[in-house]
Structure 1
Amino acid sequence: MFSQGQLIFAVCFLISFIIVMIFAYRKDLALHKIFYKGNYKVLLVFLLFIALLFLIKFFFKR
């Protein structure tokens, strides 16, 4: 399906992308602590909302 060159490029790109993202995240870690504190609450509410939608679907399906 893919040639060997395409697969090698994909692996190299993936590895370099992950390394760059790690460095970028570490560089901005101080800013994340200032501007994004409490964001886990938003994630929790979002996951609870999705769970509620699945529960409503499950109970009204019967």
Structure 2
Amino acid sequence: MFSTGQWIFAALFLVTFIIIMIFSYRKDILIHQKFYKGTYKVLIAFLLFIALLFVIKVFFKR
């Protein structure tokens, strides 16, 4: 399905992408702490909403 070269390229791309993301995040960590306080609350609310949709789906499927 995929050639050896494609697998090597995918692995190198993934490693490079992760390294660049780590450096970018470390560079901007002070900005994130200043401007994005409380964003975890939005994440929790989103996950609760998805869980609620799942519960409603299971409840009405019966």
Are 1:39 and 2:39 counterparts?
Answer: yes
Q: What displacement does 1:13 show?
A: 1.0
Q: With structure 1 as the length reference, what TM-score do the two structures score?
A: 0.91
- Tell me which amino acid in the other structure corresponds to 1:50: I
RMSD: 0.9
| Stretches (4+) displaced over 3 A | none
Residues 2-43 of structure 1, C-alpha deviation per residue, up to 9 Å, x if partnerless?
Answer: 111111111111111110000000000000001111001001
Q: So what's the TM-score if we normalise by structure 2? A: 0.91
List alignment gaps of at least 5 residues for structure 1. Answer: none
Unaligned runs of 5+ in 2: none
User: 1:4 aligns to what?
Assistant: 4
Query: How far did 1:61 drift?
Result: 1.4
The reply to whether residue 26 of structure 1 matches residue 13 of structure 2 is no
How far apart are the structure 2 equivalents of 1:4 and 1:14? 15
Aligned-residue identity in percent? 71
